[in-house]
């Protein structure tokens, strides 16, 4: 059959975008060396880290920003000329190119106020309202922090110790993932160059070689990094024309991280400390945006009883690339809570609107929720390929439909009145240990 000129243009423009953005490494450009943490603790946690504009100037970018910026502008002109502003796939491409232009502006201003302004354009602010709601992200984050730091959490603790060294965790996690992915499609490896305990990139999951893991951690990594981050990468790479769906720009971060947290929840892999850690990130971003400096944010978490290591980690994530004095920070960490809420609302809305069949498209690649109706239409036309790697509850939608259908129906209930009713009963309960104690002898399969 003769080639479709439109699809040829989409594929050519998409491939150009994939190639142009490849050398842009945001997290690599803003990372802090390990000695910054060591110095902070050695000086009694009283001195701001020695990170400023001059520090970042000495950390060269991994790409020629002038050259890449020019290539993006040229690609933008070609997309508008060849696809036009009214074409659905063309609009997604244009939005993605525009995001990378802002990324370059952000990285050019590391350690400066403009870094924070660009970060908000890319990832949003902790003070913005959720899509279609009156609540701000900070309000939601604070509410979640209160829930996941309540005394009741102590009653749920089980003896899942962090006693699995990274070298062993690599093999255990690889074994788990090989039941979901085709053989050879995913790699799990050690790394000494990541800030977090684990990170996914392309078809690889990296574990921090100095970290220790629990069985619960590995369950989270299996669905969060594996099923979502790597799975959507492969689904995007398998696209015959929209090849940009295999790479992620900041515009898709909230959807990706929110979907990953949602999968942790749907598979009962998460746990209160993990949920608290994610909620704390919103508070950290909000405080830093309001002008709190590194030490003030760090001390806030120490006063909440969080360890030195974890308090430093959540604070460092927010201030990397920005100003340790506060005001201009890296706001990406609001994406987990923001994306979770928006993904749940999207699923509920799709079910209530009678179009649950679009839900598997959440895994078709690196997408935003606004992209999905456009991509679904092109899927029906044969332009977009169905996702190959799809979690079981999204492959057979019956259980998902019932779960979120019931959840939507429950929204009619006056929970304030219900809680007041049950509180009278709960207040009479003695403060005891959990009914069931988990065995201390846990076998890791």
Nearest-angstrom CA–CA distance, 112 and 329: 9
| DSSP-assigned beta bridge partners for residue 200 | 205
Residue 133 makes CB contacts below 8 A (sequence gap 6+) with none
Strand 198-201 relative to strand 204-208, pairing: antiparallel
| pLDDT of amino acid 444 | 35
Q: Which residue has the tokens 């000086």?
A: 43
Q: Helices marked H in 290-370 — which ranges?
A: 294-303, 308-319, 335-352
What DSSP string runs through 181-202? SPTTS-EEEEESS-SSSEEEET
Domain definitions of the chain by residue range: 5-414
| pLDDT of amino acid 78 | 98
Q: What tens-digit pLDDT sequence spans the chain (445 residues)?
A: 457 999 999 999 999 999 999 999 999 999 999 899 999 999 999 999 999 999 999 999 999 999 999 999 999 999 999 998 899 999 999 999 999 999 999 999 999 999 999 999 999 999 988 776 678 888 888 888 888 877 666 666 555 677 899 999 999 999 999 999 988 889 999 988 777 788 888 889 999 988 889 888 999 999 999 999 999 999 999 999 999 999 989 999 999 999 999 999 999 988 888 888 899 999 999 999 999 999 999 999 999 889 999 999 999 999 999 999 999 999 999 999 999 999 999 999 999 999 999 999 999 999 999 999 999 999 999 999 999 999 999 999 999 999 888 888 877 788 788 888 888 887 777 766 555 454 333 333 3
Give which of 81, 100, 68 is closest to 13, Cα–Cα.
81
Phi-psi group of 291: left, alpha or beta (phi > 0 → left; psi -120 to 50 → alpha; rest → beta): left
| pLDDT of amino acid 200 | 85
Residue 318 makes CB contacts below 8 A (sequence gap 6+) with 281, 284, 285, 288, 297, 329, 330, 331, 333
């Amino acid at each position: 059959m003769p080639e479709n000129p439109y699809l040829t243009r989409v594929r050519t423009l998409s491939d150009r975008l994939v190639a142009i953005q490849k050398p842009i490494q945001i997290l690599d450009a803003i990372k802090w060396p390990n000695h910054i943490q060591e110095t902070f603790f050695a000086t009694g946690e009283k001195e701001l880290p020695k990170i400023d504009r001059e520090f970042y100037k000495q950390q060269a970018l991994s790409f020629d920003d002038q050259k890449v910026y020019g290539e993006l502008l040229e690609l933008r002109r070609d997309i508008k000329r060849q696809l036009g502003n009214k074409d659905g796939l063309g609009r997604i491409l244009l939005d993605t190119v525009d995001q990378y232009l802002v990324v370059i502006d952000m990285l050019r201003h590391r350690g400066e106020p403009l870094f924070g302004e660009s970060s908000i354009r890319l990832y949003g602010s902790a003070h913005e309202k959720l899509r279609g709601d009156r609540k701000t992200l900070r309000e939601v984050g604070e509410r979640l922090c209160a829930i996941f730091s309540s005394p009741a959490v102590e009653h749920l603790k089980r003896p899942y110790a962090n006693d699995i060294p990274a070298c062993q965790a690599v093999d255990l996690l690889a074994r788990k993932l090989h039941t979901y992915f085709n053989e050879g499609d995913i790699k799990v490896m050690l790394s000494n160059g990541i800030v977090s305990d684990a990170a996914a990139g392309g078809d690889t999951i990296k574990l921090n070689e100095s970290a220790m893991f629990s069985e619960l951690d590995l369950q989270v990594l299996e669905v969060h990094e594996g099923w979502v981050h790597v799975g959507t990468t492969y689904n995007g790479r398998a696209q015959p024309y929209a090849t940009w769906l295999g790479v992620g720009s900041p515009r898709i971060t909230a959807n990706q991280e929110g979907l990953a947290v949602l999968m942790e929840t749907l598979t009962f892999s998460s746990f209160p400390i993990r949920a608290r850690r994610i909620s704390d990130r919103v508070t950290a971003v909000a405080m830093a945006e309001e002008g709190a400096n590194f030490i003030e944010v760090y001390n806030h978490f120490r006063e909440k009883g969080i360890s030195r290591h974890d308090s430093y980690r959540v604070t460092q994530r927010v201030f990397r690339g920005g100003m340790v004095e506060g005001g201009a920070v890296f706001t990406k960490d609001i994406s987990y809570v923001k994306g979770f809420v928006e993904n749940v609302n999207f699923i509920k809305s799709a079910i209530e609107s009678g179009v649950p069949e679009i839900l598997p498209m959440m895994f078709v690649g690196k997408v935003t929720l606004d992209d999905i109706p456009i991509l679904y239409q092109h899927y029906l036309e044969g332009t977009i390929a169905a996702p190959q790697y799809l979690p079981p509850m999204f492959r057979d939608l019956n259980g998902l439909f019932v779960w979120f259908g019931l959840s939507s129906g429950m929204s009619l209930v006056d929970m304030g009145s219900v809680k007041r009713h049950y509180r009278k009963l709960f207040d009479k309960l003695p403060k005891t240990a959990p009914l069931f104690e988990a065995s201390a002898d846990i076998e890791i399969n």
